[in-house]
Amino acid sequence: MARENYSAWSKQNLIDEVKKLKKRKKYGIVWEDKPEQVAELCKEKLPVLAEDKGKEIVTNKEKPVNILIEGDNYHALSVLNYTHKGKIDVIYIDPPYNTGSNVWRYSNDYVDSEDLFKHSKWLSFMEKRLKLAKNLLKDDGVIIVTIDDYELYSLGLLMDEIFGENNRMSTLVIESNPRGRTSNAFFATSHEYYLFYAKNSSKAKIENIPLTEEQASVFKYEDEISRYRLLPLRKSGAASRRKDRPKQFFPIYINPTTLRLSLEKKSSDSIKLEPIDNSGEERVWKIGKINCEKYIESGDVLAIRNSNNSFSLFQKDRIKIGRKPKTMWINPDYDASAHGTNLISEILGKRNLFDYPKSLYAVIDSLQTLITSKKNAVVLDFFAGSGTTGHAVLEMNKRDGGQRKFILCTDNENGICIDVCYPRIKNIILGYKNLKNEKVEGLDGNLKYFKTDFVDAEPTDKNKKKMVYKSTEMLCLKEDCFDEVKKGQDFRIFNNKKDKYLGVIYGDEGIEPFKNEIKKLNHKFIVYVFSLDESAREEEFEDVKNLVTLKPIPAAILNVYRRIFKW
Ligand SMILES: C[S@@+](CC[C@H](N)C(=O)[O-])C[C@H]1O[C@@H](n2cnc3c(N)ncnc32)[C@H](O)[C@@H]1O
């Protein structure tokens, strides 16, 4: 139906058209969605991960198992949707900035600056991945997306749409290139943006960041409670006049001999002090009467005698653990060249390995605003590139003994995963020699390396075997339990090197032998049962119910399992 020929339309067609137009989006971002091969493939087959055992790193069994996934992140996020839904504390991503310089591919084709659909392709790419990523966040989880001017405006609207404007927490401006990009036509760009969005802003929290030495040095005094500085009790500046806050204008009395303060005149020689400034203007105290009384009592409001024998009142301002992070971050440590590109050369002993890493310290400090006190946090970066986020998590753990873990995913464009990300993480864990041939100690840790893979849905014997094997691996990943303890004909048992046990049972035939086994082991088990029908299995575990927590197999896995095995 041609739009321009409305007069030829039937009444019903016109009514339908009006209804459609009324439903149309009123505000937000609109683009032409471009299909993408990997997303189509994930609909036809079951996306899974295949472990490359040869790349596993284990240095300390007490530490968490980190994960690196080589492959397309749409695929990886689809798998994480059945293994890590609602389990991630922070997602940090640094996606391709779509500069048009032929470094980013959409559906296998490079996108250049002449491409008329370059913004639509970028938005289609990001939307699909951000929607999958949102499901992975915990209720109090937060996502950080870095970006520059090329796609800032599109990204902002897209994030508002997916996460909700109410969940917008802040946008940081970080000086990542202090020299400025002189090739820019107008201004030499020296910064980029970090967009913070909460899954649910009423649950998410920003943590104070530790004070620098310089900031801490002003707290010169110390009592039995903490370090402190003295600030005048009399308010100055905005809203400091008596008429602005009349309740904060009141006399405080001082005994000139003992310097004791009180709100009532206690003796005839008490001196009355009022918040009057040097020019005779009536100001106010910084606190009201009730707090003032409390602080006089605790010694946090005190008087100091001046050289002319008059008195000034002060309040102790106690050192806080940290300060609320501000939105503008300028610090030589955030220079991506010095603490990104050059750092990678130091770690890997070669130059010019990757042009777009972040400064390690920019990533650490941004993560610190979210998980300083969350010592077991799980951090995901699905545009991991050279692995800075993984390095940052290991470094944070080293500083405070935390057990945070990371999940990284990157494609292998120009060998970024195999030649840069993996060896970087390996060297950081095991230690390395830098460009000056000095030894740098390893930070310790464990890593499992996976590649993206598919299980075809055709019911061949080969696919059946692969399905059983792969879906078990995915359940191990879900439960963070990788060590096989026992392999029966129709069941397998895994452990996480500590006290967590996982049982996977293939069909009804596996239930009895599995139960016999766990009665011997006498541990608590998480159990998954693959079955071809929908019937519940609880009653079959009645006699071992104290040992067993039955969990449903993720629907995406179960559907393909049933499709393959129903024949
Ligand atoms: C800007 S870089 C990230 C750099 C990273 N923050 C660092 O410090 O090294 C983006 C990375 O995402 C990777 N990438 C792009 N598209 C991807 C996709 N669909 N799946 C997985 N990785 C992808 C690119 O190869 C590139 O290494």
**What atom in ligand 1 is closest to the CA of residue 413?**
25
Tokens linked to 265: 């005149």
β-bridge partners, 455:
46
What was the pLDDT predicted at 3?
57
430 Cα–ligand 1 center, Å: 24
Residue range 366-407, pLDDT digits in tens: 999 999 999 999 999 999 999 999 999 999 999 999 999 999
Query: Model confidence at 4, in pLDDT bands (50, 70, 90)?
Result: low
**What atom in ligand 1 is closest to the CA of residue 385?**
27
331 Cα–ligand 1 center, Å: 25
110 Cα–ligand 1 center, Å: 14
Best CA proximity match to 524, nearest among 497, 493, 547: 547
Best of 99, 121, 365, 383 for a ligand 1 pocket test (most atoms within 8 Å of beta carbon)? 383
Residue range 484-514, pLDDT digits in tens: 999 999 999 999 878 899 999 998 899 999 9
Which residue owns the Cα nearest ligand 1 atom 19? 72
245 Cα–ligand 1 center, Å: 55
278 Cα–ligand 1 center, Å: 61
The pTM is what?
Answer: 0.83
Place of tokens 């980029």: 192
Residue range 52-96, pLDDT digits in tens: 999 999 999 889 999 999 999 999 999 999 999 999 999 999 999
Burial of residue 318 (number of CB atoms within 10 Å: 0-12, 13-18, 19+)? middle
**What atom in ligand 1 is closest to the CA of residue 387?**
9
- Give yes or no for a contact between 425 and 387, defined as CB atoms under 8 angstroms apart: yes
160 Cα–ligand 1 center, Å: 23
Taking 50 as the threshold, does the pLDDT of residue 138 lie above it? yes
**What atom in ligand 1 is closest to the CA of residue 72?**
20
Which residue owns the Cα nearest ligand 1 atom 4? 385
411 Cα–ligand 1 center, Å: 7
Tokens linked to 442: 């390893």
63 Cα–ligand 1 center, Å: 27
**What atom in ligand 1 is closest to the CA of residue 340?**
8
What was the pLDDT predicted at 245?
95
Averaged pLDDT, 164-185: 96
What was the pLDDT predicted at 1?
45
Tokens linked to 116: 């008329």
Residues 6+ positions from 452 with CB-CB distance below 8 Å: 47, 48, 49, 50, 69, 70, 71, 72, 75, 76, 79
Best of 410, 413, 451, 452 for a ligand 1 pocket test (most atoms within 8 Å of beta carbon)? 410
Best of 407, 411, 452 for a ligand 1 pocket test (most atoms within 8 Å of beta carbon)? 411
148 Cα–ligand 1 center, Å: 15
Q: Which residues in 376-445 belong to E strands, given as ranges?
A: 378-381, 405-410, 431-433, 439-441
> Ligand 1 pocket: which residues have CB below 6 Å?
72-73, 94, 96, 356-358, 383, 385-386, 388, 409-411, 413, 416
Which residue owns the Cα nearest ligand 1 atom 27? 385
52 Cα–ligand 1 center, Å: 21
Query: Model confidence at 417, in pLDDT bands (50, 70, 90)?
Result: very high
Residues 6+ positions from 1 with CB-CB distance below 8 Å: 9, 13
161 Cα–ligand 1 center, Å: 23
Residue range 245-260, pLDDT digits in tens: 999 999 999 999 999 9
